[in-house]
Amino acid sequence: MFLLLALAVATSLSAQVYLDQNAPIEDRVEDALSRMTLMEKINMIHAQSKFSSAGVARLGIPEVWTSDGPHGVRAEVLWDEWNTANWTNDSITAFPALTCLSATWNPAMSGLYGKNLGEEALFRKKTVLLGPGVNIYRTPLNGRNFEYMGEDPLLSSRMVVPYIQELQKNGVAACVKHFALNNQEVGRHTTNVHVSDRALYEIYLPAFKAAVQEAGTWSIMGAYNLYRGHWCCQNDILLNRILRDEWGFDGAVISDWGGVNNTEEAITGGMALEYGTWTDGLVNISGNGYEAYYLAMPYYNLIKAGKYGTKELDNKVRNVLRLIFRTTMAPRRGFGALCSEEHAAAARKIAGEGIVLLQNRGNVLPINIAQLATKKSTQGAVMTTDLQYPTILVVGENAVKPLTVGGGSSSLKAKYEISPLAGIKERAGREAEVRWVRGYVGTGASRQDGMVVGAELEDHRPAAEVTAEAVNAAKEADIVIFVGGLNKEGNQDCEGVDRLQYELPYGQNEVLEAIAAVNPNVVFVNVSGNAVAMPWLQKVPAVLQAWFLGSEAGHAIADVLFGDVNPSGKLPFTIMPALTDYPAHQMGEEVYPGVASDKRNDRHPDLMEEYYKEDIFVGYRYADLAPKARKAVTGVVNKSQPLFPFGHGLSYTTFEYGKATIAGNVVTLTVKNTGAVAGKEVVELYVAPKKPSVVRPVKELKAFDKVELQPGETKTLSFTLTEDMFQYFNEAKHAFVTDKGAYTILIGSSSKDIRTQVAYEVK
């Protein structure tokens, strides 16, 4: 008897396939699942703290530890609270916001980003990093646009894939968010989105599809909003039919924090891991409040009552186990690194390559201190041979305000942050006098997201006095660098709320106008993740779109201002003159931000309905239309042209495009650097149908390539035309179909700056 028992134990131990890192993952998943009790399965699919969920300690299966966010690993928080835990070893490298990454138009930068961020997440022992975000830029008021990759589905798709691939090589799962249609923050928990299948598949889903089918993301985060009357975190159409059945996703769907709203829909709706649910149990039930989650004891009780079997539960657990075996229990998982010199260098490189030079009249940039000094020495009634120290005046709160903090879940505890003022001072050294004046006063908050921002931001002087100080200083300066834009406080670039206006906040427009009236050499550095109105554009010669750039912000901005880095960023979205020039703001509240639903009830008194009536005409797809065609889309006559079109970005050199030729399905052209300095150019390929069989955009981005050229150097680029470039989504067939006929292949430096073209016919 003893011998038989020992043999049985030995056989059981030897059969622990789930612990064998060399065994196929599916075998490990099924073996582990077969050993789990019902309660162990239930515990695995809901949170046990703010950012973790249970493993199975009895079997040696570890917990899942998640962390915000897409731009850096979030500071540790308390077990049951959002407040920071005040650890001393959780400071990190803050990487540029994803708008900046997208603005590089360089997939190699995306891979560099994912690699370095993944190393930091691995060092912090995270299972899942909650990002990247790929929701489409539909309105410039969206408070969370800075976390996304712009208005175009092709650009977002190409830029998200390397990020995920390189991140996951570290054994840390990407969690692509927010699936789907999370295109605004106002009413994000209660808005039911109505959108055509065509717009859904052509505009809002492609980047998610690329993340699944090309990058192989291991997890997806559901969105807060509703689609077709069901919350996205428990939406059968999105999570089962599209994500799993159509795309073949085999990873874990994680709810956004508080995104689950109903137990029975969550059971059948495709959700695998429930986090952050705001149930009464966390407040009114003593003991473990996490047991009150929709997929916790309420689910367990339904199974025990016989209303549900364990089929859905087992599938959820399979998805979570698969996630764990790919990450924490994966073979040869490394140790990562934190705040290394390599990470700082990567953050600076990505930031520098993403900065966009929007305007540079009179070649105000790059700043040449020697030329400024020479000019200063020859000014006045008496010419002197002694070079004078030029004065560089830096104006603006954003020149000194820490901007890695704030914005909601992407708020970071950076080990350091180089401010624009510090970067400019360091670069100028002793060759110029660098002064700073406030110019405008923001909210002056000293704390944000539980972290100190800086008490030095408090300033109680009247706005007129602050403006006068800046104007007087500008009169004496040789060049003025105004560092303004938005910040990451409420109703600006911030999670949970949308912007209240398209204009710059805090009276910045008036300050800029006043400074430009007394000094002809003004550079506006717009720190933001969104477009802003620029009524002063004709008076300010140089404009940089600088984004939220992370730890190395000041160095990267100085690199571009002084010409150490030749700007090569391109806009990932269109900048229109006024808010009413965007189609989402032309058709009333039912298009944005939504109207009260007739389905409101006591449980959901704030339900809203929102209709994406602009359909596929988002961003440049709308801006390209003639006024008559615009009216057909929105019912409103609009003749405005972009201040700066999608794909726009200048350089300190010039590029000459050769004539495009085509052989078969391969388009070839040359690009030459005709300037005096090395530079990078993004070559953009658009496809324009001549006589489409259905309503289509004038043209659509279908490929791009970034090429680096020395002065006088010429390179040949080739683009292969593929069938998917000529397709549209046919709702009747529920499939992409090829639209046969004549097309023009347009190649240029932006959506409006087309340099060469060739004809092509799809037979």
- 387-397 per-position pLDDT tens digit: 578 999 999 99
- What is the model's pLDDT at position 450? 57
- What is the model's pLDDT at position 373? 82
CB 600 within 8 A of CB 607: yes
- What is the model's pLDDT at position 375? 78
The order of strands in the sheet holding 595-596 is 230-231, 226-227, 191-194, 608-611, 595-596
Orientation angle between helical segments 206-213 and 153-168, nearest 10 degrees:
30
CB 254 within 8 A of CB 276: no
Locate tokens 């019902």: which residue? 38
Q: What's the pTM?
A: 0.95
Print the SS3 string covering 628-693. Answer: HHHHHHHCCCCCCCCCECCCCCECCCCEEECCCEEECCEEEEEEEECCCCCEEEEEEEEEEECCCC
Please give the Cα distance from 159 to 590 (Å, whole number): 32
Please give the Cα distance from 265 to 235 (Å, whole number): 8
Read off the tokens for 244: 């799993």
Where does residue 18 rank: exposed (0-12), middle (13-18), buried (19+ CB within 10 A)?
A: buried
The angle at the Cα of 554, spanning 548 to 555, to the nearest 5 degrees, equals: 120
Please give the Cα distance from 477 to 253 (Å, whole number): 55
DSSP string, 56-93: BGGGTBPPEEEE--TTSPPPPB-TTSSSB---SS--BP
Read off the tokens for 265: 């829909």
Locate tokens 């993004």: which residue? 682
The catalytic residue positions are 256
Provide CB contacts within 8 A for 20, sequence distance 6+. 28
Provide CB contacts within 8 A for 262, sequence distance 6+. 231, 234, 294
Would strands 356-360 and 451-452 be described as parallel, antiparallel, or unpaired?
unpaired
The answer on pLDDT for 166 being more than 90 is yes
- What is the model's pLDDT at position 583? 98
Q: Give the mean pLDDT of the chain.
A: 94
φ, ψ at 414 (rounded to 5°): -75, 145
Region class of 663: left (phi > 0), else alpha (psi between -120 and 50), else beta: beta
The answer on pLDDT for 386 being more than 80 is no
Read off the tokens for 757: 């073209």
Chain mean position to CA 301: 40
Q: What is the pLDDT averaged over residues 462-473?
A: 96
Tell me the per-residue pLDDT of 514-567, one tens digit each, with 9 for 90 and over. 999 999 999 999 999 999 999 999 999 999 999 999 999 999 999 999 999 999
- What is the model's pLDDT at position 446? 54
The answer on pLDDT for 6 being more than 80 is no
CB 685 within 8 A of CB 746: yes
- What is the model's pLDDT at position 376? 73
Chain mean position to CA 151: 11
The angle at the Cα of 735, spanning 730 to 740, to the nearest 5 degrees, equals: 60
When pLDDT is cut at 50, 70 and 90, the band that residue 4 belongs to is: very low
Tell me the per-residue pLDDT of 278-296, one tens digit each, with 9 for 90 and over. 765 455 455 678 999 999 9
The answer on pLDDT for 595 being more than 70 is yes
Q: What percent of the chain has pLDDT over 70?
A: 94
DSSP string, 409-468: TT---BS----HHHHHHHHHTTSSEEEEE--S-----SEETTEE--GGG---S-HHHHHH
C-alpha distances in angstroms, 526 versus 348, 380, 530, 558, 683?
A: 18, 33, 9, 14, 25
- Determine how many CB atoms are found less than 10 A away from the CB of residue 432: 22
Report the amino acid identity of residue 746.
Answer: L
The angle at the Cα of 137, spanning 413 to 407, to the nearest 5 degrees, equals: 20
When pLDDT is cut at 50, 70 and 90, the band that residue 444 belongs to is: low
Which of 363-393 are b and which e, b meaning 16 or more Cβ less than 10 Å from the residue's Cβ?
ebbbbebeebbeebbeeeeeeeeeebbbbbb
- What is the model's pLDDT at position 279? 62
Tell me the per-residue pLDDT of 182-239, one tens digit each, with 9 for 90 and over. 999 999 999 999 999 999 999 999 999 999 999 999 999 999 999 999 999 999 999 9
Read off the tokens for 501: 């206006």
CB 83 within 8 A of CB 450: yes
CB 140 within 8 A of CB 531: yes
Tell me the per-residue pLDDT of 680-719, one tens digit each, with 9 for 90 and over. 999 999 999 999 999 999 999 999 999 999 999 999 999 9
When pLDDT is cut at 50, 70 and 90, the band that residue 584 belongs to is: very high
Please give the Cα distance from 599 to 229 (Å, whole number): 9
Please give the Cα distance from 589 to 596 (Å, whole number): 10
When pLDDT is cut at 50, 70 and 90, the band that residue 629 belongs to is: very high
φ, ψ at 681 (rounded to 5°): -125, 135
CB 297 within 8 A of CB 291: yes
